[in-house]
Structure 1
Amino acid sequence: MTHVLGDPAPDGLLDAFWAYERALMSDDLAMLDRLFAQGHDTLRGDAAGLLVGHDQISRFRGGRGGAPARSVLQVHVRSLSPAHALVVAITELERGGRGQQTQVWRRGVDGWRVMAAHVAVPAPAFDSRVWRVVGDPLARPTGSGPLDGETVAVKDLFAVAGHPVGAGNPAWLDQARVEPSDAWAVRMLTGGGAAVRGIARTDEFAYSLAGTNAHHGTPPNPRAPGRIGGGSSSGSASAVSLGHATIGLGTDTGGSIRVPAAYQGLYGLRTTHGAVPTAGAMALAPAFDAVGWLTRDAELLARVGGVLLPDTAPRPVREVVAVPELWALAEPDVADAVAAFAEGESARQESWDLTDLESWREAFRVHQAAQAWATHGSWLRNRLDVLGPDVRSRFEAAAQVTPDEASAAATGVAEARQAIRDLVGDRVVVLPSASSVAPVLGSDPGRVRDATMRLTCLAGLGGLPAISIPTTTQEGLPCGVSLIAAPGRDRDLLAFAVDHAQRLRP
């Protein structure tokens, strides 16, 4: 829904604005010519330069082949005089990212006409917060298939032939070998027709949910400017949200696909544990590590699943279950958005006894820590100072886990896994993808991390597939609805997401 803000719009102004917007999206050159003021003084500018005069602007439009598809989110009106008004429109491109269009309108005998316009759109460019390396492309498709024409941002944990794996840490990158071959998932994507756009940033060793890499900075969140974008698949998510790539390949151990999907208004899938081979991807905690990916639309998310997931017979989702006790773990604005989604899907409410949730989360934390240290401790033991403060604190704690504690945690994880699978059964369960909207840059993410882990650990402990579907709070900030299901029902969740997206279309 478009919000109109500012001064009351003079009669006829918004009608003219929306006529212009419709003409722009349909490439109606005749209407665009009529709505731009005739004469030599009319202006149109963007990052490429300034066009002066109606005829020059008309020639530009006739040769560009239409404007990028977009939607208008906000319209700000300022009255400058009885016959002049300033309109600033906040737009969102279909390919990802936000833009602005500023127009000065003048009312004459033939109605409102644009005297001057300036267009600002996110330009695809190298951003070292988002990318470690990019190409044009970095790796070409090796085959043709359902992903023809798509581009992939590969999380810097997956092997890409000819490049080292950096794992978000400069010291690791300095000693990393050049990979002789692609990771399994990368090989399948390029075989399905996709090109690798580049290798995207990650939180160090994927041991974070924030996306705030101490060495490379925080990738931007174009859907919620001034807020973090989530991690650890941070660069992959931002690359997709910005429109630099159409697919973000990542991993999800404790929420590293679902959290950035929620924060940035993307679709994201964490696959059933073991359903997609992790061969060629750096591990964090193998008991929980799962391959996942992010896209801007449900259809593409499903097409990627067609390439990466086992070919299983689809089963319709017959029962959607809503658990208010899980919603209560989120902030009220997110809980309300999830409740609205559940109501729209006619989800049946049921009550869960979450008495054991805290012990489940603690078992997850300790078992993850023990595995993370077993995986990386030999290299990090005398190098903890190369880590940023937040990730270093986690590895320092991981180093202190005793064998008895690790064994007890493994037992707790096994018990939790069975209990969670029993609760989910053959249904689809609705819960928040993260406990809040994206925190503001510079705030302490610790409290949010703990609250979010109480939600995200359920799929990790259960080894379950989980899909994050984007929605928004009442204030318009992105958040995510997570759906979890029994092991192996990844394709069923994808089909549900596609159907839901189609039902939302006008």
Structure 2
Amino acid sequence: MSKLSKLNVSNPKVWVVIGVGIAGVLILAEVHRRRLNSKSIIKEDFGAFVERFELLPFPQPPPPAARLPLAGLAFAINDNIDVKGYVTGYGSADWKRTHEAAGKTAPVVTALLKNGVTCVGKTVMDELGFGMTGENVNYGTPTNPQKPSHIPGGSSSGSAVAVAAELVDFAIGTDTIGCIRMPASFCGVLGFRPSHGLVSTIGVLPNSQSLDTVGWFARDPSVLRRVGHVLLQLNPLEPKRTRRFIIADDLFQLSKVSKQKTVYAVGKVTEKLSGYQTPNHMNFGQYIASKVPSLKVFREESTNQQNGMSTLKALSSAMFLLQRYEFKTNHEEWIKSVKPKLGPDVSDCVRAAITTTPDSIKNLYKVRMEMRAALQSLLKDDGILVIPTVADPPPKLRAKKGLAAEFHDRVYALLAIATMSGGCQVTIPLGKHDDSPISVSFMASHGTDKFLLDTVVDIYSSLQEEVNIASSTSPLPDTNGNMDASELLKEKGNAAYKGKQWNKAVTYYTEAIKLNETNATYYSNRAAAYLELGCFQQAEDDCTKAIFLDKKNVKAYLRRGTARESLLFYKEALQDFKHALVLEPQNKIDGIRISKPAKDPFYRVVYVEFWKVLSLFRSLNPHLSKPQKHALHTLSAPFRLAPLHYHKLNSEKSSVN
């Protein structure tokens, strides 16, 4: 073996082969290095831009005039916004090929340039303003800086990425059915959809003009507001108002994010800051079901009941129909003549739009009007609705099976609210959960954009602090990894009840019910508070609900009996008291318990209530026949001593769980 080695080493051909091999390795290494360098060059702009250019701002006014509000900032714009001399590509190579350069710059761009900002280019968007992923077959998919292996969200994907990657200070996009709010959430930046119709859409290619808005992304809330002041032409001197936060608890049930980082963080901040009321909680879906009757036309037959989620799904269905109808009106001729190359998701959307034939266009616009009125009634000019922006984290890129129908249903149930009401909405990033960007959204009624932008600036830093605290602490226990808010509210209600703060107790029990509508104890406890307030009809209704949920809830029968007695429904009250006795299996005589009152407060209470009913019945019916009087006397015999204990035991009767 050693001889063979010596022979090989002394052979010149061996050295030639070795030299060629080393050279090959060096060449491969250089090729690999260049590939890495080329990739790093591509990643410099994260694939956010379709084309780069520079539009300089208008000249600064001479001193002593104030500095322009956006001076020194840089921004980018979506590829559906006109700039003079450039073809507006609409995210599609075929659209760009078949259209001329714009003759004018869109007013929204001009307004920004006049206020000192520099435009540095156009950003990638989903073709024709459709799609929700941000994936584009013509220009590639912008890389999500927060989670590169996952989608950035669409359709204004490039604008969101440009801001998240710190390539610009802010970016302009468009939002039709969530095209700013979703990518803002997925990329971890602020995103603002203004009230419909308040920012000019002249020079912006339409997708669905009844739903289209021009909005913007930013990292800094003060920049977000400054851009808003320019585009919305806001009055900076409006008086500050007290803010009412309303948390849509049913919508947060859709979210997979810990409520410690969303609902409870918002609640903590409002406790610390001045000018904020304690947040109220509500079932938003049920509210919309009652306020937007035209939605019944769009509710699926299989879910025709008026529960909250079926209502919001019907709302998103109406939104899609309206979008498709208007897109078809705007672009059907071009689609049929050009037959553009589109990505699979966008192609499906376009096909659905071109083939759509809505039965009743009037109903679609009616839903839109009713939604705006419903939000105005709920929020007025000082209310802010708190909802999740989206329900799920950003999905992976190029998912083989596409996005699940459940994902679509959840995300558009949330996004349809502002879209169909025309109100303003801001997406606020809240860091990460399970390594994915998360956010919360604040929504205000149509025309209250300044109020909402001011709120974001006021609350942003405190909200981030609360989220950081929540991230560094253990999850508060409940079945979902979240604190059981309904039980906490019930305990607060019990404390208020014991402190004889009946109205406050009712408020806490009501909030607990909004979070959990299937807990009989919450209804029964609220009934006890209503009884103390003399609200007997409300108490009866609550007890009826509690009994429906728990047919063995003895306190609910007792409280309903008391309420019915006060409402003069003596026969029904008697039945409730008897039913409470039936639920106890021992010590029965002729179907009526006669345990010793002095030793058992529960039975003494029953005797008290039974005696009161019988006494009132006899006083209101003085002309009974002898057999009737005898029967009444026999029936009331076990209860004649009960009134002696009544005042002492009244509190025992009303104790809450």
TM above 0.5: yes
Q: Which stretch has the larger CA shift, 167-176 or 350-359?
A: 350-359
Cα pair 1:254 1:288 within 8 Å, conserved = yes
Cα pair 1:420 1:458 within 8 Å, conserved = no
| Cα separation, 2, equivalents of 1:503 and 1:403 | 47
2:403 to 445, 448, 452: 445
**Alpha-carbon deviation of 1:501?**
2.4
Relative to structure 1, the CA distance from residue 291 to residue 314 in structure 2 (aligned partners, 3 Å threshold; closer, same or farther) is farther
Residue 186 (str. 1) matches residue 109 (str. 2): yes
| Cα separation, 1, equivalents of 2:52 and 2:395 | 28
1:293 to 216, 222, 228: 216
| Cα separation, 2, equivalents of 1:166 and 1:373 | 19
| Cα separation, 1, equivalents of 2:195 and 2:169 | 23
Within 5 Å, give how 1:275-290 maps onto structure 2.
Answer: 275-290=198-213
What residue number does 2:264 align with?
340
What residue number does 1:500 align with?
459
- Identify the structure with the greater strand proportion: 1
CA deviation map 1:214-242 (0-9, x unaligned): 22221011112211111111111111111
| Cα separation, 2, equivalents of 1:129 and 1:473 | 23
Which has the bigger relative contact order, CA under 8 A and spacing at least 6? 1
Aligned-partner residue type, residue 393 of structure 2: V
Within 5 Å, give how 1:46-445 maps onto structure 2.
Answer: 127=45, 129-135=47-53, 138-144=54-60, 145-312=68-235, 313=238, 315-330=240-255, 332-333=256-257, 337-346=261-270, 347-352=279-284, 353=286, 354=308, 356-402=311-357, 404-426=359-381, 427-443=383-399, 444-445=402-403
What residue number does 1:32 align with?
none
| Cα separation, 2, equivalents of 1:398 and 1:343 | 42
**Alpha-carbon deviation of 1:491?**
1.3
| Cα separation, 1, equivalents of 2:419 and 2:240 | 23
Q: Which stretch has the larger CA shift, 471-480 or 249-258?
A: 471-480
Cα pair 1:143 1:190 within 8 Å, conserved = no
Relative to structure 1, the CA distance from residue 505 to residue 458 in structure 2 (aligned partners, 3 Å threshold; closer, same or farther) is closer
Aligned-partner residue type, residue 490 of structure 1: D
**Alpha-carbon deviation of 1:294?**
0.2
Aligned residues: 382
**Alpha-carbon deviation of 1:495?**
1.1
Secondary structure at the aligned position of 1:377 is classed as helix
**Alpha-carbon deviation of 1:336?**
5.2
What residue number does 1:458 align with?
417
Secondary structure at the aligned position of 1:381 is classed as helix
Relative to structure 1, the CA distance from residue 407 to residue 304 in structure 2 (aligned partners, 3 Å threshold; closer, same or farther) is same
Aligned-partner residue type, residue 140 of structure 2: G
Cα pair 2:228 2:234 within 8 Å, conserved = no
Cα pair 2:75 2:117 within 8 Å, conserved = yes
| Cα separation, 2, equivalents of 1:341 and 1:128 | 32
Relative to structure 1, the CA distance from residue 150 to residue 227 in structure 2 (aligned partners, 3 Å threshold; closer, same or farther) is same
Aligned-partner residue type, residue 140 of structure 1: L
| Cα separation, 2, equivalents of 1:504 and 1:123 | 36
Cα pair 2:78 2:159 within 8 Å, conserved = yes
| Cα separation, 1, equivalents of 2:283 and 2:231 | 35
| Cα separation, 2, equivalents of 1:493 and 1:378 | 40
Aligned-partner residue type, residue 441 of structure 1: L
| Cα separation, 2, equivalents of 1:476 and 1:199 | 30
**Alpha-carbon deviation of 1:429?**
0.5
| Cα separation, 2, equivalents of 1:496 and 1:262 | 18
Gaps of 5+ in 2: 1-39, 61-67, 271-278, 287-307, 466-657
Aligned-partner residue type, residue 187 of structure 1: T
| Cα separation, 1, equivalents of 2:242 and 2:87 | 42
- Identify the structure with the greater helix proportion: 2
Within 5 Å, give how 1:16-55 maps onto structure 2.
Answer: none
Cα pair 1:241 1:266 within 8 Å, conserved = yes
Secondary structure at the aligned position of 1:356 is classed as helix
Cα pair 1:363 1:410 within 8 Å, conserved = no
| Cα separation, 1, equivalents of 2:208 and 2:87 | 21
The alignment's TM-score, normalised by the length of structure 1, stands at 0.71
Relative to structure 1, the CA distance from residue 494 to residue 412 in structure 2 (aligned partners, 3 Å threshold; closer, same or farther) is closer
Secondary structure at the aligned position of 1:231 is classed as coil
What residue number does 2:15 align with?
none
**Alpha-carbon deviation of 1:334?**
6.1
Aligned-partner residue type, residue 246 of structure 2: V
| Cα separation, 2, equivalents of 1:401 and 1:488 | 32
Q: Give the superposed CA RMSD.
A: 2.1
Q: Which stretch has the larger CA shift, 343-352 or 203-212?
A: 343-352
Aligned-partner residue type, residue 281 of structure 2: Q
Cα pair 1:334 1:435 within 8 Å, conserved = no
CA deviation map 1:342-384 (0-9, x unaligned): 3233422223312522221111110111011111111112434
Relative to structure 1, the CA distance from residue 198 to residue 317 in structure 2 (aligned partners, 3 Å threshold; closer, same or farther) is farther
| Cα separation, 2, equivalents of 1:381 and 1:314 | 53
Cα pair 2:46 2:143 within 8 Å, conserved = no
| Cα separation, 1, equivalents of 2:464 and 2:391 | 27
Secondary structure at the aligned position of 1:437 is classed as coil
Cα pair 1:273 1:463 within 8 Å, conserved = yes
Relative to structure 1, the CA distance from residue 142 to residue 367 in structure 2 (aligned partners, 3 Å threshold; closer, same or farther) is same
Secondary structure at the aligned position of 1:333 is classed as coil
Relative to structure 1, the CA distance from residue 504 to residue 339 in structure 2 (aligned partners, 3 Å threshold; closer, same or farther) is closer
Secondary structure at the aligned position of 1:251 is classed as strand
Cα pair 2:150 2:394 within 8 Å, conserved = yes
Relative to structure 1, the CA distance from residue 482 to residue 284 in structure 2 (aligned partners, 3 Å threshold; closer, same or farther) is same
Aligned-partner residue type, residue 283 of structure 2: S
**Alpha-carbon deviation of 1:438?**
1.2
